[in-house]
Amino acid sequence: MQRTARIPIEARTERAAFVDRDAPEIAEEQEAYCDWGDVWEVAKAEWFFGVGTKLGDLSKGAERYYPAASIHSNLFCDFSPEPFRESVYWKSFKATLGSRLEAHDSPVVELVFPTSVISFTTEEAFKALAGQWYRETRKLSSADQIVLHPAYQMIIGMGREALPFIFRELKKTRGHWIWALAMITREDPAQAGMKFKEAVDSWLKWGEDNGFI
C-alpha cells in the first residue's frame, strides 16, 4: 500500500491530499488542484530517491518520488507540508530539482510513500544513502560539492541516531564524514592547521571517548 501526498511548491493551498494508490476510494482527503493544468498530467519521471535509480525525463516540472529505503521513516509518520518544507529533506529535494522547477509557474512534486518505508531501520537507511553518496561523489575534488550532496544532507538530517554508523564508516574508509559529524554534534575536536588525516584521527578518538565506536 502506498500513500501519496501531492504538494504544490508555490502553494495555492496548504492542504495536502493523501491518496492510497492501491485503494483510492479510501483516500483520507482529496484536494483538487485545478490550477495545475497539464503540468501534472505530463509528470512521467520516476526517481527512486536515495536508492540512486533515476528513470525518465525530469524536465517536465512535475516529479514523482519514491523515497524507498533511504528516507528517515519518522519524517512521514505525521506528515504535513509545512514542517516538511522546513526540513533538510525538502531542501534536498529542491536542490536536486533546481532550475527545472523554477522554470514552471506552478510546479508540483508528487511524493509517493510506500508504507513499507516505515519499517526500515536507521542503519538500512544510512547504508543506502552512504552508498549513493559515495557513488555519486567519488570523482569530486570539491569538498563543498561532496558535503552538499542530497544523500549526505539527509544523513545529517538523521541526527545523532546516525552517529554510530558514521563513525563505523569513517573508521573503515577514512572518507569525508567529518563535516557531517561537526554538523550533528556541534563539536570539532580537530586542531587548527591539522591535515585531513589528522582531523580524521581526532574525530575517531572523539568517537571512542564518547562511546560511538
Partner 1 sequence: MSAQEIESDFPKLVADGWTETSKESAEYNCFAFALHDDSDWYSPLPLKGYYWPDNLPRNTALPTMIELYRNEGGFSPCDDGDFENGFEKVAFFINEKQNVTHAARQKPSGAWTSKLGVMEDIEHPLLTSLEDAGIKDDDYGKVGQFLKRPIPAS
Residue ranges binding partner 1 (CB under 8 A): 136-145, 147, 149, 173-176, 178-179, 182, 188, 190-200
Residue 180 beta carbon to partner 1: minimum distance, rounded to whole angstroms? 11
H/E stretch holding 64: strand 62-65
Number of Cβ within a 10 Å radius of residue 165: 21
Residue 142 beta carbon to partner 1: minimum distance, rounded to whole angstroms? 6
Residues in the chain: 213
User: How many angstroms separate the first and last alpha carbons of the chain?
Assistant: 38
Residue 159 beta carbon to partner 1: minimum distance, rounded to whole angstroms? 19
Whether the CB-CB separation of 160 and 184 falls below 8 Å is answered with yes
Residue 187 beta carbon to partner 1: minimum distance, rounded to whole angstroms? 11
Number of Cβ within a 10 Å radius of residue 100: 16
Residue 146 sits at φ, ψ, to 5 deg, of -65, -45
Cell of 149: 550532496
Residue 84 beta carbon to partner 1: minimum distance, rounded to whole angstroms? 23
Number of Cβ within a 10 Å radius of residue 115: 12
